[in-house]
């Protein structure tokens, strides 16, 4: 009886109370957005909306990339983690709709509207920007959904399944990686770096897609840790796989910090006013300086020093907290990059309760997408069959 309970399909790991909580989160997020939109500073509502769109979309894109990379590298340890990562593809259609909503706030989101762009108007104009980003996201999400569909069919086909779908899985995996790098770079240029049209960093595209993979790994760790805590020692994913994910998070915290330092040191060494002003505003002036240090602590210092300890990487609760800290740090990093452009002259960091509610609403949408995927494929997050390699 106890063994049957341990092997219960994962479709029951979220029950009705949890679904009600997700509904409350989503409704609260919509309410917070509408309340702030109707207030004296509607631009704040759109700023928070953009930050959350960038964060949660990048998280889903990076999480799916994990499964793609495991396929291309022929990793043997990551089977259950790949299943979790593929579930994040359910957020792709939601993300595409959320992107279209951004068009409604275009007057509040692009401070370069009406400015002299010195020849950049060919690139920085609203119709072209929204069209190219929409097409990029549509292609990326289409490839991601094709990959997940082929992976699910391969597993459902039994022993002959992987061989039958292998060529298609590999072909789509390669395409997804290439389009992922291109589209994440484009989104980074258009919706983050483009907020300050006179500042340019050729490294910003790579920084954007590395950061998306970083936050995707953190999201997988949070999800896997939750499953480990709920299922106990018989958990799938196993604690050993959580340990491997901890190594990956450790590595990408170093890579994230390296990319940040690389941009900073080149700008500092060049000492050009059009470049240094961007960095000085965000790292050396109030109210943004404390936020810059907090981002560094959450995204680098905390995971670096915590994950040096091998035992920590096998403790689901600790790993969940570290993953959540990284996600919070990347959220604040988006605020650090976008906030000074959209709220110039701010005397304090622009955060209040509606911002929290909007963020919780987006988190509820991601969790609801995962739940939808699990209900559509009830055995996807279930225990691995015994005797089969991951």
Mind listing the pLDDT tens digit for each residue in 252-293? 999 999 998 888 888 888 787 778 888 889 988 889 999 999
pLDDT of residue 241: 83
Kindly tell me if the per-residue pLDDT of 301 is higher than 90.
Answer: yes
Tokens encoding 229? 């805590």
pLDDT of residue 236: 54
Give me the residue spans of the domains in the chain: 15-376
pLDDT of residue 14: 47
CA of residue 180 relative to chain centroid, distance? 13
pLDDT of residue 379: 67
Transcribe 267-329 into DSSP letters: HHHH--HHHHHHHHHHHTSTTHHHHHHHHHIIIIIHHHHHTTSTGGGG-HHHHHHHHHHHHHH
Helices vs strands, H then E, count in the chain:
15, 0
Mean pLDDT of the chain: 87
More confident: 388 or 342: 342
Kindly tell me if the per-residue pLDDT of 11 is higher than 60.
Answer: no
pTM of the model: 0.90
More confident: 310 or 383: 310
Average pLDDT (40-69) is: 95
Average pLDDT (97-104) is: 96
Name 159's Cβ contacts closer than 8 Å, sequence gap at least 6. none
More confident: 279 or 4: 279
């Amino acid at each position: 009886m106890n063994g049957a309970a341990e092997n219960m399909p994962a479709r029951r790991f979220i029950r009705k109370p949890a679904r009600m909580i997700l509904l409350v989160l989503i409704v609260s997020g919509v309410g917070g957005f509408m309340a702030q939109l109707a207030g004296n500073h509607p631009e704040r509502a759109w700023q928070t909306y953009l930050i959350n769109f960038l964060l949660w979309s990048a998280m889903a894109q990076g999480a799916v990339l994990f499964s793609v990379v495991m396929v291309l590298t022929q990793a043997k340890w990551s089977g259950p983690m790949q299943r979790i990562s593929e579930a994040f593809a359910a957020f792709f259609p939601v993300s595409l709709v959320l992107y279209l909503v951004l068009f409604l706030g275009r007057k509040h989101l692009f401070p370069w509207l009406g400015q002299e762009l010195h020849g950049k108007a060919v690139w920085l104009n609203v119709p072209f920007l929204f069209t190219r980003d929409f097409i990029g996201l549509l292609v990326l999400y289409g490839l991601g959904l094709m990959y997940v569909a082929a992976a699910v069919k391969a597993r459902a086909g039994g022993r002959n399944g992987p061989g039958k779908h292998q060529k298609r899985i590999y072909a789509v995996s390669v395409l997804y990686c290439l389009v992922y790098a291109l589209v994440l770079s484009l989104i980074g240029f258009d919706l983050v770096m483009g907020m300050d049209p006179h500042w340019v960093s050729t490294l910003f595209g790579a920084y954007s897609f590395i950061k998306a993979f970083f936050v995707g790994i953190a999201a997988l760790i949070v999800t896997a840790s939750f499953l480990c805590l709920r299922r106990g020692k018989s958990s799938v994913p196993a604690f050993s796989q959580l340990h491997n994910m901890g190594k990956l998070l450790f590595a990408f915290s170093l890579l994230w910090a390296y990319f940040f330092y690389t941009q900073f040191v080149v700008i500092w060494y060049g000492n050009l006013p059009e470049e240094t002003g961007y960095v000085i505003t965000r790292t050396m002036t109030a109210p943004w300086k404390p936020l810059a240090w907090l981002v560094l602590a959450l995204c680098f210092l905390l995971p670096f020093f915590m994950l040096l300890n091998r035992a920590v990487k096998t403790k689901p609760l600790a790993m969940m907290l570290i993953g959540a800290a990284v996600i919070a740090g990347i959220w604040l990093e988006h605020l650090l990059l976008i906030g000074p452009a959209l709220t110039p002259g701010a005397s304090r960091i622009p955060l209040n309760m509606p911002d929290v509610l909007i963020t919780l609403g987006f988190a509820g949408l991601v969790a609801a997408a995962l739940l939808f995927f699990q209900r559509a494929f009830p055995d996807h997050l279930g225990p691995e069959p015994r005797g089969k390699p991951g």
